[in-house]
Chain A
Amino acid sequence: MRYNERELLSLARQPAEKAAEIRMSVPKKGNVLKKRLVKLVVNFLFYFRTDEAEPIGALLLEHCKITKEEENVFSISFIEEPERKYCFECATEEQCQEWVEALKRASYEFLRRSLIFYRNEIQKMTGKDPLEQYGISEEARFQLGAHRE
């Protein structure tokens, strides 16, 4: 599958929602934890070797499951392959919890659900659709309807 890698690399250079040095393993033989710079930008998690400017990899955070594992550890796996886990060992339990919370909220789909939720709440409270003033009430992406889960 082709993708615009150049733009993705550019995205990796943007200010991050969250970034830290975390020991990480990718799902393959050995599952060896290696120290990486992990950076959350929009719905992508980039990971770098700590001394390099370009990421070695990126994870699109849609349809993924963030699991708190043992102490200081959390994992990311994807719906269609739940056994393949990317593991992250944080420095502290607190850091681990922060990342779990941040990653659970990092997907575009989560953002969409929040938006629809707020829109609905505001409409119920005020009787007005808050998106009307922006002229975007009819946009498919903002609909709470049969065509959207």
Chain B
Amino acid sequence: MKLNERSVAHYATCDSPADHTGFLRKRVERHHHHGTSYQRRWFVLKGNLLFYFEERESREPMGLVVLEGCTVELCEAAEEFAFAIRFDDAGARAYVLVADGQAAMEAWVKALSRASFDYMRLVVRELEKQLEEACKSLAACRKSPRRSSSSGRKRHLSNPALQPLQEKPTTLENGYSTWSSGGCVTGGATSPDHDGGQTKPPPLPPRRRSAASSATGSPSPGLSPAMLESPVPPETICFSKLHNWYGQEIAVLRREWQERQKRGHP
């Protein structure tokens, strides 16, 4: 079976941060069982992929272990600090690895046992639910009038970073309660352009930033602040949230037009 090896190797060696790295001794599987021997390799864990290199400075990985459908367990090898990656598939070989010490072993076992895509997906789904619940309860709290503002509904959807000069910037709490009134996704208040908004054009809405890059997981360092305003959660659970999220942009624009109109007609 072919694999896009060049790209995989590139992913292994590019400077996107790894989840865990270190030297481990890897048991060498010999056909004739002439005792067991181990070879020290440099291991790099990225996502659900465990790469190993002949040396730390090697430019290409020597091998890859895809970590789906596996368990990681301490093992009763002759070696101290040994653990094994075993696959559900009965006939599959296990990868026996030996760490330098207790702490290193524990760290690797922890990192590897949570490395699968499935696990990540589980946690994301759980957080999605929690966020939805948090939104709902926050929205329920907001039914009782707390703010003195009279600008009504439009204010709820405006990006705090784009407030015109005459208004005080909304507090973090305020900003987030406005977000949650309809949709509860976005990170507008953390935008670095929060300067009153008049001196430069409003920042591109988060989704455009990520749509423009449209590369999954591209490691450009400048993407960091945008990450917080990252694309609306992919499997956006309900249309109303998606609708509100997209609607923010319209509401902001509408508001700006209205402000401009007010100023343009003395």
Identify the A interface with B (CB < 8 A).
1-11, 14, 42-43, 54-67, 78-81, 101, 103-122, 124-126, 130-131, 134, 136, 139-142, 144, 147-149
Q: Is the CB–CB distance between B2 and A57 below 8 Å? A: yes
What residues on B are CB-neighbors of A113 within 8 Å?
217, 227, 230
**Is B261 part of the binding interface, using a Cβ–Cβ cutoff of 8 Å?**
no
Question: In the assembly, what is the distance between CA of A112 and CA of B230, in Å?
Answer: 11
**Once A and B bind, how many residue pairs between them come within 8 Å at the CB atom?**
229
Q: Is the CB–CB distance between A104 and B216 below 8 Å? A: yes
Q: Looking at chain B's contact residues, is the secondary structure mostly helix, strand, loop, or mixed?
A: mixed
What is the number of residues of chain B that contact chain A, defined by CB distance less than 8 Å?
76
Closest residue of chain B to A82 (Cβ to Cβ) is B215
Contact status of A57 and B1, CB under 8 A, knowing A80-B7, A140-B19: yes
B190 to chain A, nearest CB (A): 8
What residues on A are CB-neighbors of B46 within 8 Å?
62
B23 to chain A, nearest CB (A): 17
Question: In the assembly, what is the distance between CA of A60 and CA of B47, in Å?
Answer: 12
What residues on A are CB-neighbors of B10 within 8 Å?
63, 78-80
**Is B6 part of the binding interface, using a Cβ–Cβ cutoff of 8 Å?**
yes
Q: Mark B105-140, 1 if CB is under 8 A from A, else 0.
A: 000001100111110110110111011001100100
Identify the B interface with A (CB < 8 A).
1-11, 14, 16-17, 19-20, 46-49, 60-66, 68-70, 87-89, 91-92, 110-111, 114-118, 120-121, 123-124, 126-128, 130-131, 134-135, 138, 172, 176, 180, 184-185, 187, 214-221, 223-224, 227-228, 230, 233-235
